[in-house]
Chains A and B, each alone.
Chain A
Amino acid sequence: MSVQLITLLACAVSFTCLVYLRNRDPKRRRVFRLAVWDKKRYPTLAWLLCFIPGVVLLYIEQYSAFIMWLAALSLIGWTVALPKPKV
Chain B
Amino acid sequence: MIDVSKGTARRLVDIHGWSAAVLGLALYIVVFSGAIVVFSHEIGNWSVSGHKQGEGIAGNIDAKLISLAEQVDEDYLEEVTLFQNSAGELITFFHTHVNNDEGELEEKGTRFVLDPDSLEILSRDDGFREDMPIISSGFLERFYIDLHVRLHAPGVIGLYLTGILGLILFVSAVSGFILHRHLIKDVFLSPRLSTRLMNTRDRHALAGTWGLVFSILLAFTGAFFSFATTLGLPVIAITAFAGDQHLALETIIGIPEAEDDTPKNFVGLEAIITNSQQEDVAGSTPIFIAVQHWGRADSRVITTHGPTAEGSMFFTNHRYDGVTGEYLGEKPGLGNVPSTGSTVIGLIGVLHFGWFAGLLSRIIWLSLGLAMCYVTLTGLQLWVQRREKSDTWQSLSRFISVIGYGLPFSMVTAAVGFLFSYSSSEYDVENWTVTGFLLGVVLSFIVGFVYPVAEQREKLFQKITGLGFISLPIIRLLTSEQSWAEYSHAIAVMSMDISLFITGLILLVLSTGIMRAKRFNVKASVETSATEPAFEAKA
Contact = CB atoms under 8 A, between A and B. Distances in A.
A and B touch in the complex (CB under 8 A): yes
B196 to A, nearest CB: 15
B334 interface: no
Contact of B309 (A2, A30, A32, A80): A2
B90 interface: no
Contacts of B356: 64, 67
A25 to B, nearest CB: 4
Contact of B188 (A2, A3, A25, A65): A25
Contacts of A82: 190-191, 203, 206-207
Q: Nearest 8 CB-CB pairs, A to B?
A: A78-B210, A25-B188, A64-B313, A64-B357, A84-B190, A22-B188, A77-B210, A31-B527
Interface in A46-87: 63-65, 67-68, 70-72, 74-75, 77-78, 80-85
A37 B525 CA distance: 21
Contacts of B206: 78, 81-82
B189 interface: yes
B364 interface: yes
Given A64-B313, A67-B350, A84 B358 contact: no
B131 interface: no
Given A2-B309, A78-B206, A71 B188 contact: no
A81 B187 contact: yes
B211 interface: yes
Nearest to B518: A84
Given A31-B527, A64-B313, A74-B211, A21 B364 contact: no
Contacts of B203: 82
Interface string A16-51: 000001100101101111000000000000000000
Contacts of B186: 27
Q: Which of A63, A64, A70, A75 has the most CB of B within 10 A?
A: A64
Interface residues of A, number: 32
Q: Which of A8, A30, A74, A75 has the most CB of B within 10 A?
A: A74
Contact of B360 (A27, A68, A78): A68
A32 B525 CA distance: 10
A70 B350 CA distance: 13
Given A64-B313, A67-B350, A74-B371, 15 more contacts: A2-B310, A3-B358, A25-B189, A28-B190, A31-B189, A31-B526, A64-B357, A67-B361, A68-B357, A71-B214, A77-B187, A78-B210, A81-B189, A81-B210, A82-B191
B210 A31 contact: no
A7 interface: yes
A4 B365 contact: no
Given A2-B309, A31-B526, A74-B214, A21 B188 contact: yes
B189 to A, nearest CB: 6
B236 interface: no
B351 interface: yes
Nearest to A7: B360
B368 interface: yes
Interface in B11-66: none
Q: Which of B191, B193, B213, B360 has the most CB of A within 10 A?
A: B360
Contacts of A64: 307, 313, 350, 356-357, 361
Contacts of A74: 210-214, 368, 371
A22 B190 CA distance: 10
Chain B contact surface mostly: helix
B371 to A, nearest CB: 6
B180 interface: no
A30 to B, nearest CB: 8
Contacts of A21: 188
B181 interface: no
Given A4-B357, A27-B185, A31-B526, A71 B368 contact: yes
Contacts of A77: 187, 210
17 contacts: A3-B357, A4-B360, A8-B360, A21-B188, A27-B186, A27-B188, A63-B313, A64-B313, A67-B357, A68-B357, A71-B364, A71-B368, A82-B191, A82-B203, A82-B207, A84-B191, A84-B193
A81 B211 contact: no
Given A78-B206, A78-B211, A28 B350 contact: no
Contacts of B310: 2-3
Interface in B489-539: 526-527
Contacts of A70: 213
A64 B365 CA distance: 13
B100 interface: no
B476 to A, nearest CB: 28
B520 to A, nearest CB: 12
Interface in B335-366: 350-351, 354, 356-361, 364-365
Interface string B164-207: 00000000000000000010011111111100000000010011
Contact of A72 (B192, B193, B350, B364): B364
A71 B365 contact: yes
Given A28-B188, A28-B189, A81-B190, A33 B357 contact: no
Nearest to B528: A31
